């Protein structure tokens, strides 16, 4: 009795080339200040929010939660359901792929 195993061909040279320059993600914090009735905060081009804080509290992303993300071709906007308090410190941890 014997077993037959099919293993796909692996090109070692191609694998080594792919591992030479793995994609890296750069992380950075961006800070905004709440202004009366302002609900949208635009991130710099290429940056995508990972975590959003309002007055030090982590906010939950979702249509029925604290904020949603509005994606454009190269920019992303953090859109709060309710405007943060006037003078509130808003921190956004964002990432960009290099």
pLDDT per residue over 62-74, tens digit each?
Answer: 999 999 999 988 8
Q: What is the pLDDT of residues 7-56, one digit of tens each?
A: 667 777 777 777 776 677 899 999 999 998 999 999 999 999 999 999 99
The model carries a pTM of 0.74
Asked if residue 1 is part of any domain, the answer here is no
Whether 30 is covered by a domain: the verdict is yes
Q: Helix count (H) and strand count (E) of the chain?
A: 1, 7
Residue 34 belongs to a domain? yes
CA trace torsion 30, 33, 37, 43 (10° rounding): -20
Tell me, yes or no, whether 76 lies in a domain. yes
pLDDT at 5: 66
Report, as an integer, the average pLDDT of 78-94: 96
Tell me whether residue 62 is in a domain. Answer: yes
Domain of residue 45: give its range.
Answer: 23-97
Give bridge partners of residue 26 from the DSSP assignment.
96
- Note whether 49 and 78 are within 8 A (CB): yes
């Amino acid at each position: 009795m014997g077993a037959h195993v099919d293993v796909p061909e692996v090109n070692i040279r191609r694998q080594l080339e792919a591992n030479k320059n793995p994609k890296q993600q750069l992380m950075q914090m961006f800070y905004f200040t709440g202004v009366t009735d302002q609900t949208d905060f635009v991130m710099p081009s290429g940056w995508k929010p990972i975590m959003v804080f309002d007055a030090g509290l982590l906010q939950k992303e979702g249509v029925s939660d604290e904020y949603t993300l509005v994606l454009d071709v190269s920019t992303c906007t953090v859109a709060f359901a309710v405007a943060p308090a006037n003078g509130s410190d808003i921190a956004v941890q964002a990432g960009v792929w290099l």
